[in-house]
Chain A
Amino acid sequence: MSPLNKRLPRELMHNLGKYLGIFLLFLFAIAMGAGYLSAAHSIEVIQNGMHERYQVEDFHFATQFEAAKSSLKAVEEMGCTVYEDFTADVPMTVPGDDRPMNCRLIDAANRNRINQGYYFEGEAPAAPDEIAVDRVWSNNNDVHVGDTLTINGREVCVSGICSVSDYECLMEKNTDMLFNSTTFTIGLVTPDGFQNLAGGKRDYRYDVILDDRSMQLADRTTFEQDAADLLVDKGEVLTDLVDYEFDNKAIFFAADDVESDQVMWQVLVGLLVVIMAFVFVVLTNATIEQESAVIGTLLASGYRKREIIGHYMVLPTLIGVLGCAAGNLVGLTYMSTPMQELYYGSYSLPPYEFSFSPQVFVFTTVVPFALLVVVTLLGLVRKMRFTPLAFLRREIASRSRRNTLPLPERLSFVRRFQLRVFLRNLSHFVVLFFGISFCSLFLLFGLCLMPVVEHYAELLKTDVVANHIYLLKAPLELDGTPEQRAAYAAIEELMSTDDPLSDLGFVKYARALLRTMDIDEDAHPVNTVDNGQSKIAQAEKFSAASFAVDHVITDSSEEITIYGIQEGSRYWSDVDVSGGAVVVGNGLAKKCRIKPGDTVSLFDKYTNKTYEVVASSVWGTSANMNLYMEMGALNRMVDEDEDTFHGYASDEELQIDQRYLATDITPEAMTSSADQMQESFGDMMGMVVAFAIPVYLILVYLLTKTVIDRSSRYISYMKVFGYHNPEITHLYVRAITATVLVSLVASQPFVIWLCKVFVSFVMDRYSGNLELYVAPSLMAEVVAIGAAAYVVVAAAHIWRIRRVSLSEAMKVQE
């Protein structure tokens, strides 16, 4: 063992701050990075395994009315098994909460066969008045086993808290932008319970398991389309066709979220690793400079360069190993739960199981550690080309011309001195600037997203041009004669039961049949309720179609709706669609980079058809992801009847037959979806800020500490000459303070720009167009947090300056 090693403990104690800083930097970066990424990876593994393990459907379809057995049989003959999986959405209230909630009833027995569930507490419902509800929803509403819920006016007892694999995410409708785990839950009930609670109400959903479970997406969608065509041929009215992986948001939204968040964290950790490399460079140079006399003496006495390099590698390597170990330990134990909670708090996933990811380990541990070792080694090797004498004379610190810059004498001595400190440490300060920018980026990103989402909610609201946008499953006329209404009421009555003749009795049945005689089969059905002339007059028809538009940055696409509106519309009054014009929502235009004159490709994933339209103008807020064209033009484009329509825009609330109503979009509904978004981002952003502040502290501390350390000898001189500590602080710390504050403020435009790039990159995979808007107050907040963190660092420096001993100056200079 080299006798030099005896110095190691002393070197460590002497540079405790530096090594502690490196240790903590590793600890934080790895604890957060590995903590998050491992949790995300484990969740991904769980999700990827679910399809097999929990018999998750390959796709499902829904029909307007119950499908004939023969139709289902025909589908099964294509090579699959079809499971009847009827659901019913029923109103529900929780004791002590008057918010109306929606409970989607599912036959519990079905969830043993397909899209299997798992009980976290309690058990499956055994009696008609028992129900098992979703874990996330029950958490959000403080509902426990044994509680009583009111569903459709009846009281039911919670028998279990569960999750089911086709509702990993409580997505009420597949067309919703966000999930709703506060007022929407699935409810597993017995068949009798279903009958009691739902009455005759049914959504006819059929889950399909393919014989070939490993079928690729493209083949599967073809299969699905063929099945759909077959069903339509058989006379079924198909209302939904959803592939589990391609477009079932309740299944893939969680996975998508995890995936897109991972991109964000990878970028964050990646940036941090780069900054760490810079810090290592600065610290290695500082060590060599500080140790130059010792190195020179050792070299002169015949030590080999290899031995010296080896010696100076010991401590950084050791600290790196310790930091990596501690970081992984903390990340995988202590941080694991809060990181899981980011997802388990929002998504109904099966119980967490840790899976080790070599990639995460390499990315968060091996790479930073290797960087530390390589950077330190290179730094040492590079400096070893100097002669022993150069070390002895301390000539190894690169003296560039800026150090010998003449400064005008009319500047006060203090100013010149501070400038000298600044010039001497310029390279540190450049790294400091980037370090500060980078940490500010973290902070800004963590802080800005909430206000951005709030702002977004406001915009979403303004984009809903009427108090109600009613989307219909099929055209339904509001206007009609009393005879027509009566005729359709009769049809509703007949359809509300499986066996009308026996259920209604012969007389009622016959009367109903008679009333339907008036129906004109070529005309649209008429609403059974008369909303009154004034309401009918202000309601305005529109048609709509859904398409996918490709994103620009990543390989993903945006689900958009194209509205066919009337020329001179009273609701979209300033959207000019005359003469075949196609108007693009501002958000869509920005996110997918569409300018007037550009051709937009609209992909219909149900039919595999692509339509092309030429954008003529841009309209609406930056959250508007819609397209607008003239109603007739849209109908012609998608090959529908000239007079077909899919909804009403109306300022007045309308009574619309339930069987036809798909959605009622209101401005308030938009706000609550943004609330959801805030909830799901909130914790994550808290993590980012919690990550940014300590990293900021350590980074600024390490980088500015070297400035004090390399000057400690001169600080000692000044003490000898009779400088008081505050005066020395003034000369040295001022220069640092000024640099930090100037960096903080000056980096803001750069940081905002970075943040914009970052946000657009991170957000590309999420739907909607979030515009980064940084309020001046937010910038002030970032600067204030940075400055506050610096106060702590400055206090450490002042303390360090106080500790510089007088004897340092007295040591015979090498």
Chain B
Amino acid sequence: MATQGQGFLSISNLTKSYGAGEARTQVLKGISTEVDKGEICVLFGPSGSGKSTFLNMVGGLEPADSGSICVDGVDITKLNDHDMVEYRRRELGFIFQFYNLVPDLTVRENIEVCQYLSRDPLPIDDLLHSLGLWEHRGKFPNQVSGGQQQRCAIGRALVKNPSLLLCDEPTGALDYHTSKEILELMERVNREYGSTMIIVTHNDAIRRMSHHVLRLRDGMLSEDFRNEHLMPASELTW
């Protein structure tokens, strides 16, 4: 359930640039926004606009030039290496466009990689059932379809029951039907586990299932609003 106004993720004046001198490009020029607990927040923007950069900074994978990122009241830009790892470990789940599964581990083992990190993980068998992966749990990533691989990646992100799921183009490599399946799954995850999600995507249709919509243009947020009416993922078309 989406609960309003808790300011779970609070970002202010975030800037980021790459390179130096002539080659210096300012990717983010001062981003401020609030993401509430339990929200599905979608981030649009043309290719190269800095969406991944933004997501990686929230994920603590890249340092910010200036500004702050507060998660649950803690400014993660100020964390040291060890605490940053602890932050990712406790709070975050990642879902990538290309699944990023470990090819030598079975579906189950890939999920176990993250189960291992949690003191209080979700029961893995239930998760496998609910992701529709139970039959495939002993298979290796290259033995299952793309959709199944992404489900496995979602399972891996979910299993440690993170408070924030960061998804970089989760359906970018999937066909229409599979994409819809994945979106339905994410909607269900949001509902059942109450996890906050930031989804980076090209797909405009996703805005209709999201509580919160952000659009990046020229390093600034050109749109930042909340949807009044949500459409279930199953009804989306594009």
Contacts and interface: CB of A to CB of B under 8 A. Distances in A.
B114 A721 contact: yes
Given A806-B61, A810-B61, A812-B97, A722 B88 contact: yes
A414 B117 CA distance: 11
B52 interface: yes
B109 interface: yes
Nearest to B172: A812
Nearest to B157: A721
Interface in A723-766: 723-724
Given A717-B100, A721-B89, A724-B82, A413 B140 contact: no
A721 B162 CA distance: 11
A807 interface: yes
B134 interface: no
A714 interface: yes
Interface string B91-105: 010101110101111
Nearest to A806: B61
Given A724-B85, A810-B52, A718 B113 contact: yes
A718 B117 CA distance: 10
Interface string B104-126: 11101100111111000000000
B170 interface: no
Interface in B112-161: 112-117, 138, 140, 142-143, 156
Interface stretch (A84-92, A313-321, A416-424): A416-424
B59 interface: yes
A289 to B, nearest CB: 12
A404 interface: yes
A721 B113 contact: yes
Contacts of A718: 113
A809 interface: yes
A404 B85 contact: no
Nearest to A725: B85
Contacts of B215: none
Given A721-B113, A721-B117, A810-B52, A420 B61 contact: no
A417 B105 contact: yes
B59 A720 contact: yes
B56 A717 contact: no
Contacts of A406: 106, 138
Contacts of B112: 413, 416
Interface in A231-281: none
A809 B100 contact: yes
A707 to B, nearest CB: 12
A416 B59 CA distance: 28
Contacts of A424: 104
A394 B109 CA distance: 21
Interface centre among A404, A414, A424 (most CB of B within 10 A): A404
B109 A720 contact: no
Contacts of A810: 52, 56, 61
A33 to B, nearest CB: 39
B88 A720 contact: yes
Given A406-B138, A722-B88, A414 B116 contact: yes
Interface string B172-189: 000000000000000000
Contact of A717 (B102, B108, B140): B102
B53 to A, nearest CB: 10
A807 B143 CA distance: 27
Secondary structure at the A interface, as helix, strand, loop or mixed, is helix
A424 B105 CA distance: 10
Contact of B140 (A404, A416, A720): A404
A714 B102 contact: yes
A813 B113 contact: no
A416 B85 contact: no
Given A717-B100, A806-B61, A722 B140 contact: no
Interface centre among B59, B82, B96, B102 (most CB of A within 10 A): B102
Interface string A99-132: 0000000000000000000000000000000000
A395 to B, nearest CB: 8
A423 B156 CA distance: 23
Contacts of A403: 104, 140
Contacts of A416: 109, 112
B85 A722 contact: yes
B138 A720 contact: no
Contacts of A806: 61-62
B223 interface: no
Q: What class of interface size applies to chain A in its complex with B?
A: 20 to 34
A373 to B, nearest CB: 32
B86 interface: yes
Contact of A723 (B103, B108, B117): B117
Contacts of A812: 97-98
A727 B15 CA distance: 33
A807 B138 CA distance: 29
Nearest to A424: B104
Contacts of A413: 109, 112-113, 115-116
A390 B200 CA distance: 30
Contacts of B52: 810
Contact of B117 (A409, A421, A722, A807): A722
Contacts of B87: 722
Interface string A388-424: 0000001000010001101001000110110011011
B90 interface: yes
B67 to A, nearest CB: 20
A424 B109 CA distance: 15
Contacts of A723: 85, 89, 117
Nearest to B102: A714
Given A413-B112, A721-B114, A722-B90, A807 B61 contact: yes
A420 B89 CA distance: 23
A632 B94 CA distance: 97
Interface string A791-814: 000000000000000110110110
A721 B94 contact: yes
A129 B203 CA distance: 109
B61 A722 contact: no
B86 A722 contact: yes
Contacts of A399: 142
A423 B105 CA distance: 11
A742 B86 CA distance: 34
A723 B103 CA distance: 18
Contacts of A417: 105, 109, 113
Contacts of A813: 96, 98, 100
Contacts of A414: 116
Interface centre among B82, B103, B138 (most CB of A within 10 A): B103
Given A404-B140, A724-B85, A812-B98, A420 B117 contact: no
A501 B7 CA distance: 132
Nearest to A393: B142
Contacts of A809: 96, 100
Nearest to B84: A722
A423 B104 CA distance: 9
Interface centre among A414, A718, A720, A721 (most CB of B within 10 A): A721
A557 to B, nearest CB: 59
Contacts of A720: 59, 61, 88, 94
Interface in B20-46: none
A516 B158 CA distance: 117
Interface centre among B59, B90, B94, B97 (most CB of A within 10 A): B94
Contacts of B156: 721
A813 B98 CA distance: 6
Nearest to A720: B94
Interface in A486-545: none
9 contacts: A406-B106, A413-B112, A420-B105, A721-B89, A721-B94, A721-B156, A722-B86, A810-B61, A812-B97
Interface of A: 394, 399, 403-404, 406, 409, 413-414, 416-417, 420-421, 423-424, 714, 717-724, 806-807, 809-810, 812-813
Given A413-B116, A806-B62, 8 more contacts: A413-B109, A413-B112, A423-B104, A720-B59, A722-B89, A806-B61, A810-B56, A812-B97
